[in-house]
Amino acid sequence: MSTVAPDVVGSLSVDEAVATRRSVRAYLPRPVPPRDVEEILTLAARTASNSNTQPWHVHVVTGRTKRDLAESLWEALENDDRTTPEYRYQPDPDDWSEPLLSRRRQFGDELYRCTLGVEHDDTEGRLAHHRRNYEFFGAPVGLILTVDRQSLGGGLIDAGAFLQAIILLARARGLDTCPQASFLDFHPVVRRHLRIPAEQMLVCGVALGYADDGHCLGGLTTEREPVGSYTTFHD
Ligand SMILES: Cc1cc2nc3c(=O)[nH]c(=O)nc-3n(C[C@H](O)[C@H](O)[C@H](O)COP(=O)(O)O)c2cc1C
């Protein structure tokens, strides 16, 4: 086991990486150097976890495996062959309330109408966009993040911190990402293709590549609330 921090080679500061990060849903075909993927995952493992249990595991999906996985997931989507996710990432659509409900609606409207020209009630247009999740939005690399079940539920916090480290380390190298819970609906298909052992629970997917800045989905920037609205300073 490594006890020394790996070399740091990213070129953006932490502030720059955080400030310029966004979820990218359109990628260039430009390949991601395998060395970058390995460096990102090596450094991400410096993430804090419960008693240093490091409950995460990453499946790196490229090439033919990525294509085959997408085909199987599209088939499952077409047949509406959904499975109850192994953990609840979000409530049913009708169970959201304010202020989260309005933020969610605003995001959905921006994503579908402003960037794709798809109206809210255009079911086919929305489905065509949703489908692209399963090919990691055309990114050359897909990551499937899992967590060891024995670490639950706190292990999901550790895995979330690990996920954010991957995302920021990628950004520091000029790469972009999109975390993807959409894989959860079809977790048995993912499990079968990647031969994921039973003790690993699927957390989410992550698209990894270089943004296609010429495409609106390569540069969608979302709003944030001001710091005073979500912070209470206790003196
Ligand atoms: C755990 C997680 C799962 C997500 N799943 C999806 C997904 O399945 N598909 C998608 O297009 N975006 C997904 N997102 C991206 C969010 O929609 C996005 O983070 C949010 O709208 C804020 O936009 P930004 O990341 O560009 O700042 C996910 C984000 C997180 C953190």
- The DSSP secondary structure of 89-141, one letter per residue, reads SS--GGG--TTHHHHHHHHHHIIIIIHH---TT-HHHHHHHHHGGGGGGG-SE
For ligand 1, atom 22: residue with the closest CA: 222
What pLDDT, on a 0 to 100 scale, did the predictor assign at position 195? 98
The answer to whether 191 and 72 have CB atoms below 8 angstroms apart is no
CATH number of the domain enclosing 159: 3.40.109.10
Residue 227 lies in a domain: no
Residue 231 lies in a domain: no
For ligand 1, atom 27: residue with the closest CA: 22
What pLDDT, on a 0 to 100 scale, did the predictor assign at position 120? 66
| Domain hosting residue 176, numbered range | 14-85+135-220
Contacts of 78 (CB under 8 A, 6+ apart): none
What pLDDT, on a 0 to 100 scale, did the predictor assign at position 7? 67
| Domains of the chain: total | 1
Residue 118 lies in a domain: no
Cα-based distances in Å from 229 to 22, 121, 133, 156, 226: 21, 32, 32, 26, 6
Which one of 163, 180, 221 would you pick to mutate in the ligand 1 pocket, going by the greatest count of ligand atoms within 8 A of its CB? 180
What strand order describes the sheet that includes 56-61?
56-61, 141-148, 200-209, 176-180
Over the chain (235 residues), the average pLDDT of each successive run of 10 is 63 96 96 98 98 98 98 97 93 96 93 72 84 97 98 97 98 98 98 98 98 87 96 97
What pLDDT, on a 0 to 100 scale, did the predictor assign at position 115? 66
What pLDDT, on a 0 to 100 scale, did the predictor assign at position 73? 98
Distance 234 CA to ligand 1 centre (A): 31
Distance 129 CA to ligand 1 centre (A): 14
What pLDDT, on a 0 to 100 scale, did the predictor assign at position 117? 76
Residue 29 lies in a domain: yes
What pLDDT, on a 0 to 100 scale, did the predictor assign at position 208? 98
Residue 5 lies in a domain: no
**Cβ(62) – ligand 1 distance below 6 Å:** no
**Cβ(177) – ligand 1 distance below 6 Å:** no
Residue 19 lies in a domain: yes
Residue 105 lies in a domain: no
Residue 79 lies in a domain: yes
Token digits of residue 233: 């300073």
